[in-house]
Amino acid sequence: MKILVVCQYYYPEQFRINDICEQLVLEGHSVTVLTGLPNYPKDKIPSEYKWGKKRKETIRGVDVLRTFEMSRGSNALGLAINYLSYMVSASFKVLLMKKDFDLIFVYQLSPITMAIPAIIAKKIIKVPLYLYSCDIWPESMKNIISNENSFVYKLIKKISTYIYSQCDEIGITSKPFYEYFNKEHSIPLSKISYIPQHAEETYLNIEEPDNNGTIDFVFMGNIGIAQDIDCIINAVYEIRNEVNFKVHLVGDGSYLEKSKLIINDKDLSNHFVFHGRHPLDKMPEFYELADACLLTLKSDSLVGLTMPSKLQGYMAAGRTVIGAINGAAQQVIRESKCGVCVNASDYSALAIAMKDFIENQDNYSNCGKNGREYFVKNFTKGIYMEKLNYQFLKLMEENKYV
């Protein structure tokens, strides 16, 4: 197939769409990506991409077309301008692009508006549109706009409903979202498919951590409000008198600096290590450090029911998972017996779980093996690609635009 991929983010930005597109090429498909200028998460566009440079690239067999966008900035206004600039610029870009595609694939992160250029392309080219939803909208905005009755929230919901309704099929990462898309956006269940995210299979080769005399808990990924770092901090405060344990935070995000202030105020600096953000090829180093991995997510919106992709990475690496999270992730942790999971934001219960791991680590000796076995059966790239290709072929066979 000749596939047009629409996603605001692409290499050198680190998202799984990079891996997916490269695999599609290896499978014989022709892939063109319409994306923006790299500026996530550092809020700055690298000099080699400024002033019209590197607007067309071929990266590992993937044809990459870049369109103008403003960098994310450091506040909500800057982020809104970033979202708007890509949407407008990419929408004009599709008018000038070649029309020789069989299918359009939107890898939808935030914002939902990144799909608008794909809808325009669909109407021009008259081919099916498959959207894979990694962030559900407008639920993903509730950390910023909590009032569902506000004009802005209602407007975003109308836009989101329109975008989702224009898709021929919507892929979801967690089963609870069947009901969400059906009830909130009136999407028929027959147009929704469940494809859980995958993780790097190289993590399966990571060995057991060395005994360095310290119990090392590792949290990886975005450090934002939704990730509920407060839950981890408050849990650590409750077990602060336990000796020889540390929590390693690998990543950055909008809540990083606030987290550091809270940790200092609670005099917990001796228990936390901040490693910053690192590329995917550095992640094995942190998995090798981890005795257990932490997974937290707020539950104050339906986003809290999702299964963060880091869970698959934790399981592939064979690490015990200690979570404070609801929904699909809690179900998978308990079903796979890869660790222990308490309810979202219950820091006292998380503290008890962490303390038990510190004092009785031998009781968790099978968790890593259990997680890996579950991963191999459910979350490999091969399984993901098989399901994705099935949906693509189904849409091609049902193509009503020919």
pLDDT tens for 88-120 read 999 999 999 888 999 999 999 999 999 999 999
Q: Give whole-number Cα distances, 156 to 34, 160, 167, in Å.
A: 23, 6, 17
Q: Residue 402: what pLDDT?
A: 61
Q: How many residues does the chain have?
A: 402
Question: How far apart are the C-alpha atoms of 202 and 312, rounded to whole Å?
Answer: 12
Q: Residue 207: what pLDDT?
A: 86
Mean of all residue pLDDT scores within the chain: 92
> Nearest 5°: phi and psi at 335?
-65, -40
Check if the beta carbon of residue 227 is closer than 8 Å to that of residue 207: no
Check if the beta carbon of residue 255 is closer than 8 Å to that of residue 274: no
> What SS3 state is found at 40?
coil
Residue 329, H or E segment: helix 327-336
ω into 111 cis (within 30 of 0): yes
Find the DSSP H helices in 56-206. 76-96, 116-125, 151-165, 177-185
Q: Residue 43: what pLDDT?
A: 78
Residue 337, pLDDT above cutoff 90: yes
Residue range 119-130: mean pLDDT, rounded: 96
Residue 387, pLDDT above cutoff 70: yes
Check if the beta carbon of residue 94 is closer than 8 Å to that of residue 124: yes
Q: What is the CA radius of gyration of the chain?
A: 21
Q: Residue 130: what pLDDT?
A: 98
DSSP 49-74: GSTTTT-EEEETTEEEEE-------S
Give the tokens for residue 74.
């450091």
Q: Of 32-41, 101-110, 332-341, which range is least confident?
A: 32-41
Q: Residue 61: what pLDDT?
A: 96
Q: Residue 107: what pLDDT?
A: 98
Q: Residue 366: what pLDDT?
A: 95
All residues at 6 or more sequence positions from 224 whose CB lies less than 8 Å from its CB, including other chains: 143, 253, 254, 255
Q: What is the SS3 string spanning 190-246?
A: HHEEECCCCCCHHHHHCCCCCCCCCEEEEEECCCCCCCCHHHHHHHHHHCCCCCCEE
Q: Residue 79: what pLDDT?
A: 86
Residue 296, pLDDT above cutoff 90: yes
- Of 326, 371, 324, 376, residue with least CA distance to 352: 324
Q: Residue 363: what pLDDT?
A: 95
Give the tokens for residue 77.
């206004």
Q: Give whole-number Cα distances, 215 to 203, 240, 314, 337, in Å.
A: 20, 13, 16, 20
Q: Of 99-108, 274-283, 291-300, which range is least confident?
A: 274-283
Q: List the Cα angle 216/221/76 in 5-degree steps.
A: 140
DSSP 373-392: HHHHHH--HHHHHHHHHHHH
Provide the terminal-to-terminal Cα distance of the chain, rounded to the nearest Å. 15
Check if the beta carbon of residue 31 is closer than 8 Å to that of residue 5: yes
